[in-house]
Structure 1
Amino acid sequence: MTETAPALAETDSAAVAAALASLRPEEVAASRAILVREGLLGPDGHVSYFGLLEQDKRTLLAPGARPEPRRFRAMLVDFGTGASHDVVVCPAEDRLVSVVELDPADGQVPVVLAEFGLVEEIVHQDERWRAAMAKRGLTDLTTLRVNPLSAGAPATDEAGRRIQRCFTFVQKTPDDLGWAHPVDGVTVMVDVVTREVLDVIDYVDLPVPQEDGNFHLPEWVGKPERAGLKPIEITQPEGPSFTIDENGVLDWLGWRLQVSFDQREGLVFHNVSIADDGVQRPVLYRASIAEMMVPYGDPSPQRWFQNFFDCGEYLLGGFANSLELGCDCVGDITYLDATLADNAGNVRVIPQAICIHEEDAGILWKHFDNWNGSSDSRRNRRLVVSFFVTVGNYDYGFYWYFSLDGNIELEVKATGVVFTSAYPGPGYAYASELAPGLGAPYHQHLFSARLDTMIDGTVNAVDELEAALVPRGPANPTGTGITQTVTRLRTEKEAQRMADNAKNRVWLISNPERQNRLGGDVGYVLYPEGKPALLADEQSDIHQRATYSAKHLWVTAYEPSELYPAGDFVNMHPGGAGLPKWTAADRDVDGADIVLWHTFGLTHFPRIEDWPVMPVDSAGFTLKPHGFFGANPTLDIPETVGDHCAPGDGGHEHHGHEHHGHEGHGA
């Protein structure tokens, strides 16, 4: 039996896993019954968010402690009264734990699905909007799609209202891709509670692009499918190398991690650990994407507000796709369903929302030695846990990789359809032209990974490591000396950092209470990609609302209520919440229970090749062990023996082989 690291050895791992597991249908149903009984969920009420309110890890992981009854957080909005509530309910005790009515000045609960259809119905009845459309020769309402968008920071006369700002697109037929035909220059403001159009502003009359973009219709593509693609078959005749239990605890070749799912964050991992000489050593207590924001860089009057918080405003996890074998995932696949609550508070299940599989990852290590004549190599493989979402026009795949050598990587794959506009003309500074008269504003996709680290325990510290040239002198007479500088980040303000690839800047998370066999602190290094952070003026609305995205790294002292880097209620929040508010206290993070927040993402200047559907573009980060192990942890990986590379034959002889099919299965 595998042992557990001393820091957590006295906890009941099965009880902890049960306390942190994904939602159970009976818990959703029981919570809804309490909300209805207590008068919080009436005929006009909507459940915006429903999720597990996790117990403070300091009590949950305390030696000998037993988990408390599970509690759940619900964010509610009533379209009859306009009131919103932040509620905690405990179905095991059949009671409300707390109820807070929100002040609209502090933001709104996230957007609910009912608002999407409601807004189009309201706008279609407005004479001002109809007049703006008629001016452009658009009179067939059945072809006009109204696209409701989060409103951004509220204007002075919008304070306290729940608003959507709307654009219009032409969808010529039910099969047509409406994104090809934006009706640019007209913005509509809708109050979804009072169900009224507050204003219709016709800024500029730009021609509606006419060329279709129906990539999904074979007849539109206009050319035969590319010939010559031979099948690639991925088989595991003996099944996968991992197991997973009823609480989502997954074991794979030394790795152990708990997989769960949240309506706001999507995939959430708890208690990620890796085996080392028979001891299960913790690396992360909790990991997720806590926010994702897409700021658009066109400052024109009709677009200045266009910035979307896909987690905080739209609840990204709720838009998870049901995945399909051979399309979204290939090989021997284990799928997990996601249990959520719908806007009525009833149980909603997304079948096959999570994909788990193994994949070959190329060479792990290799060496041919000229002195002793030995030749050895090992192949790498990785465990992949992923999900895909569609939020409006964009589709995002989130792929977490766990490798044999202890590496953890996240790759976000962005695809789908770019957000379109009319193109004002040659030389326009804030958009690309994709097709005749069709533009796509420049924009960014900025993610915040929340990494609650637990490197061999909860006492961790962060050092900034940089490559440095040593000045010529007595210690470096030839001028060829290269060294690495180490700077301890001791407080929350010191730990607000930017990546710098020119200096090979990385961040080492270590445990000062645990040393490796050479006497150094055990640790993991966060390797950032170092792409641009938020490109917006510090005084801009979006900078105030998304301050988290202006730095690549933040480090905070652990506080269980601090979950979202832009604050709990991002929708129509004026700004200043989340990380800038928490870190104003400048708490000590040197040898403490800490959380890292890493901003990464894409800065997208759309290309012609991104239309009408965008090939995948990706961003992410890597965590690598650094002094965590005593040596290469993969020396025990057996030599690969297969049809194409037999021991001693140099791997050059081609052998015939048989294909073995093994279908994916559910869990």
Structure 2
Amino acid sequence: MSTQETLKQVGHPLEPLTADEIIKAVAIARKERGLTDKARFEQVGLYEPEKSVVLNFKEGDAIVREAFMIVLDTADSQTYEGVVSLTDEKVISWTHIPGVQPSFLFDEYYELEETVKKHPDFHAALAKRGITDPSLVMVDPWSVGNFGIVEDEGKRLAKALCFVRKFEGDNAYAYPLSGLLPVVDLSTMEIVRIEDYGVRPIAPTAAPYKPEQSDAIQVRTDLKPLEITQPEGPSYEINGHNIKWQKWDIRIGYTAREGLVLNTVDYEDKGVKRPILYRAALSEMVVPYGDTDPAHDWQCAFDAGEYGIGQLANSLERGCDCVGHIDYFDAIMATGNGEIHRIPNAICLHEEDYGIAWKHTDWRTGDVEVRRSRRLVISFFTTVANYDYGFFWYFYTDGKIEHEAKLTGILNVSVLEEGENPKYGSLVAPQIGAPIHQHIFNYRIDVNIDGQQNSVQELNTVASKPDYATNKQLNAFHVETTTFQTELEAQRNMNLETARGWKIINPNKKNFVGEPVGFELVPGENAIPFLHDESSIVKRAGFIKHHLHVTKFDRDQMYASGKYPNQGEWNGSTLNNWVKENRNIENEDIVVWYNMAVHHVVRPEDWPVMPTHYIGFKLKPHGFHDGNPALDLPRPAAVKGQSCH
């Protein structure tokens, strides 16, 4: 298919690159830059147009298509960024980025395992542990971080966590070879060194989670079918990656790093389409471990920036991952060799009943009015080695947006000596300890509340002064509101003592009571990091110290951890350093960054597979509408013989 034919199929500037466009972009780069087979493509994705192009776009306008790529030359571990015009079929920029390492390539996972398992020094380390069959060993790549090791500078490295199965199909994560850590140069696929902190026992107990592998797991037989049907089909409409549902107009995208991206989220109110978000996605997920054991004290995964959660997404199965009437979107990316990495059914779209939207009963007359709520669900699931993460965006009939992360999968554990009780973790099984750790999710929310000129207010509730003239019963409390003016001022943390909240407003647009229109950021579960400022983790990810940041929009400031956190140095390319510019953020085009944290003191109930843990936040209209936007919901159809009103 020609480039022009491909362009004709694209109906909007933010449509993700098609497979044909990715292949075309790689071919243009190879030809113009003379790339050899040593070139590896860390990512090839849409180079998103300027906001003005997107926001002023009208159907039928000409669309200029450009691809952004990060290319690693494995011959010398040098990294390049390129922008390729698909419209003009040429490279329009090519930049060498010195001293950085792109995230892991999907292909490197398999290559690293093969490299480690066939090495004679690794065989010798296994023999010390009584392991004679390397085929039963499982190897996971882990990012090495940055601890200032001089001999590691300039090399593209990964550490290997090792496990051993008792038999094929066994849960290898139950048998960690703790303290055995091969370090691999990913460019040359050679072992640099093997860190060996001493032989430890093999865990004495199995941890199967499949019923057919355990007599102890008796599958329940008393669950009756629960059917979800939509005989008339769903209430949404799909056009490419544009979704319209219940006054919502949503465009979605997808990247190898972030996974699912929300673009141009609008809401129709009284016949007018009102913008709310320009772009929202997971920016980074930092997972620090709190154990001093050398098997763990170096561990801190940057799951988005180092591993690419988008490229590790699952193909979802109807009836398993999603139930009811489902529509799916494939994720299309590049492999390291510049071919197509397609994940079928990567994004799931469906509707859910969500209980009571609103209700009132007049106790005098017996008159009842009730409406049922419904939500649109857009989600994807990804597997990063042992952990599995779901990312769900919900849109409600009352104008609310909610995000929820779901954590499950298998814990990162260590084997212990008999009778050993871990100080920095929990026993989850005999001689199996799970370190205390956190999952800190950072979201980049490019707001667009009724337009691009927005501000952020902080709301703190305080008890009013004990003035017997104005507060005679000493019961009064009120909200004090502060509007942030600069970036440093807007580094904030939650505070339960003042019921602290944050509201994003458009000071130029007023609602019918004369106040600025706005949306409130409503935090959910959260925690703070327990890390010293001088730790490597905080030096690389200081943004995790605050729950909220607000920055002036800059299209190059996309990820809180910077573009290249893998083996990242302690430099200024991260969110906590950007805010030092202290730009004005009042009545400006701004970006809100929110951190939420799971503080995981591990339980035996989290083993061998962790029950799903839910954490999230809401974006709730606060003065955006003139009243309850769900008043116009239809009365629900009552069950035969009964009445809803």
TM-score by length of 2: 0.94
Residue aligned with 2:341, SS: strand
Aligned to 1:515: 510
Q: Deviations over 1:543-575 (max 9, x none)?
A: 111222221111000111111111001110023
Aligned to 1:653: none
Indicate if the aligned counterparts of 2:211 and 2:217 stay in contact, CA closer than 8 A.
no
Where in structure 2 are the equivalents of 1:221-620 lying within 5 Å? 221-246=215-240, 248-371=241-364, 373-424=366-417, 425-473=419-467, 474-576=469-571, 577-620=573-616
Residue aligned with 2:489, SS: coil
Give me the CA root mean square deviation. 2.0
CA shift, 1:372, in A, is 5.2
Aligned to 1:11: none
Return the match for 1:191 from 185, 189, 210.
185
Determine if the alignment matches structure 1 residue 110 to structure 2 residue 103.
yes
Q: Deviations over 1:448-497 (max 9, x none)?
A: 11111011000100001122111201321221001111111111101111
| Counterpart-to-counterpart distance in 2, 1:617 and 1:22 | 31
CA shift, 1:370, in A, is 3.1
Indicate if the aligned counterparts of 2:422 and 2:433 stay in contact, CA closer than 8 A.
no
Matching residue's letter, 1:367: H
Determine if the alignment matches structure 1 residue 158 to structure 2 residue 152.
yes
Aligned to 1:48: 42
Q: Percent of aligned pairs with the same residue?
A: 38
Worse overlay, 36-45 or 612-621: 36-45
Worse overlay, 62-71 or 472-481: 62-71
| Counterpart-to-counterpart distance in 1, 2:141 and 2:89 | 38
CA shift, 1:16, in A, is 11
CA shift, 1:67, in A, is 6.5
| Counterpart-to-counterpart distance in 1, 2:225 and 2:541 | 45
Indicate if the aligned counterparts of 2:12 and 2:63 stay in contact, CA closer than 8 A.
no
Gaps of 5+ in 2: 1-7
Residue aligned with 1:184, SS: coil
Aligned to 2:4: none
Residues 253 and 63 (structure 1), Cα distance of their counterparts in 2 relative to 1, 3 Å cut? closer
Residue aligned with 2:493, SS: coil
| Counterpart-to-counterpart distance in 2, 1:145 and 1:339 | 28
Q: Deviations over 1:250-273 (max 9, x none)?
A: 111111110221111111111111
| Counterpart-to-counterpart distance in 2, 1:359 and 1:283 | 22
CA shift, 1:445, in A, is 1.1
Residue aligned with 1:31, SS: helix
Aligned to 2:169: 175
Indicate if the aligned counterparts of 1:415 and 1:613 stay in contact, CA closer than 8 A.
yes
| Counterpart-to-counterpart distance in 2, 1:126 and 1:373 | 79
Q: Deviations over 1:639-666 (max 9, x none)?
A: 1014268426x7xxxxxxxxxxxxxxxx
Where in structure 2 are the equivalents of 1:126-137 lying within 5 Å? 126-137=119-130
Matching residue's letter, 2:299: Q
| Counterpart-to-counterpart distance in 2, 1:64 and 1:132 | 64
CA shift, 1:223, in A, is 3.9
| Counterpart-to-counterpart distance in 2, 1:126 and 1:24 | 40
Residues 120 and 351 (structure 1), Cα distance of their counterparts in 2 relative to 1, 3 Å cut? closer
CA shift, 1:125, in A, is 4.6
Aligned to 1:145: 138
| Counterpart-to-counterpart distance in 1, 2:641 and 2:438 | 44
| Counterpart-to-counterpart distance in 2, 1:578 and 1:223 | 47
TM-score by length of 1: 0.91
Indicate if the aligned counterparts of 1:511 and 1:591 stay in contact, CA closer than 8 A.
yes
Indicate if the aligned counterparts of 2:106 and 2:335 stay in contact, CA closer than 8 A.
no
CA shift, 1:316, in A, is 0.5
CA shift, 1:306, in A, is 0.8
Q: Deviations over 1:215-236 (max 9, x none)?
A: 1251415343112111100101
CA shift, 1:608, in A, is 0.8
Matching residue's letter, 2:578: W
Matching residue's letter, 1:273: D
Aligned to 1:25: 19
**Paired residues, number:** 633
Residue aligned with 1:312, SS: helix
Indicate if the aligned counterparts of 2:351 and 2:376 stay in contact, CA closer than 8 A.
yes
Matching residue's letter, 2:562: G
| Counterpart-to-counterpart distance in 1, 2:251 and 2:57 | 20
CA shift, 1:524, in A, is 0.3
Matching residue's letter, 1:501: L
Residue aligned with 1:356, SS: strand
CA shift, 1:127, in A, is 4.4
Residues 64 and 359 (structure 1), Cα distance of their counterparts in 2 relative to 1, 3 Å cut? closer
Matching residue's letter, 1:587: R
| Counterpart-to-counterpart distance in 2, 1:99 and 1:465 | 46
Residue aligned with 1:236, SS: coil
Gaps of 5+ in 1: 1-13, 651-667
Indicate if the aligned counterparts of 2:445 and 2:592 stay in contact, CA closer than 8 A.
yes
Residue aligned with 1:72, SS: strand
Indicate if the aligned counterparts of 2:211 and 2:219 stay in contact, CA closer than 8 A.
no
Aligned to 1:637: 633
Matching residue's letter, 1:570: P
Residue aligned with 2:178, SS: strand
Aligned to 1:204: 198
CA shift, 1:114, in A, is 2.7
Return the match for 2:81 from 79, 86, 89.
86
CA shift, 1:79, in A, is 2.2
Q: Deviations over 1:352-383 (max 9, x none)?
A: 11111110101111111235543211110000
| Counterpart-to-counterpart distance in 1, 2:478 and 2:601 | 37
| Counterpart-to-counterpart distance in 2, 1:34 and 1:476 | 73
Indicate if the aligned counterparts of 1:49 and 1:110 stay in contact, CA closer than 8 A.
no
| Counterpart-to-counterpart distance in 1, 2:339 and 2:186 | 22
Worse overlay, 637-646 or 320-329: 637-646
Residues 582 and 58 (structure 1), Cα distance of their counterparts in 2 relative to 1, 3 Å cut? farther
Indicate if the aligned counterparts of 1:17 and 1:249 stay in contact, CA closer than 8 A.
no
Matching residue's letter, 1:497: R
Matching residue's letter, 2:483: R
Residues 190 and 347 (structure 1), Cα distance of their counterparts in 2 relative to 1, 3 Å cut? closer
Matching residue's letter, 2:133: D
Determine if the alignment matches structure 1 residue 100 to structure 2 residue 95.
yes
Indicate if the aligned counterparts of 1:180 and 1:210 stay in contact, CA closer than 8 A.
no
Residue aligned with 1:183, SS: coil
Indicate if the aligned counterparts of 1:15 and 1:67 stay in contact, CA closer than 8 A.
no
Aligned to 1:656: none
Worse overlay, 477-486 or 205-214: 205-214
CA shift, 1:135, in A, is 1.9
Aligned to 1:661: none
Q: Deviations over 1:398-449 (max 9, x none)?
A: 1110000011001111111111211355442212111111121111111111
Q: Deviations over 1:335-365 (max 9, x none)?
A: 1111211221122221111111110101111
Residue aligned with 1:627, SS: coil
Residue aligned with 2:311, SS: helix
| Counterpart-to-counterpart distance in 1, 2:58 and 2:159 | 53
Indicate if the aligned counterparts of 1:16 and 1:67 stay in contact, CA closer than 8 A.
no
Determine if the alignment matches structure 1 residue 36 to structure 2 residue 30.
yes
Indicate if the aligned counterparts of 2:208 and 2:214 stay in contact, CA closer than 8 A.
yes
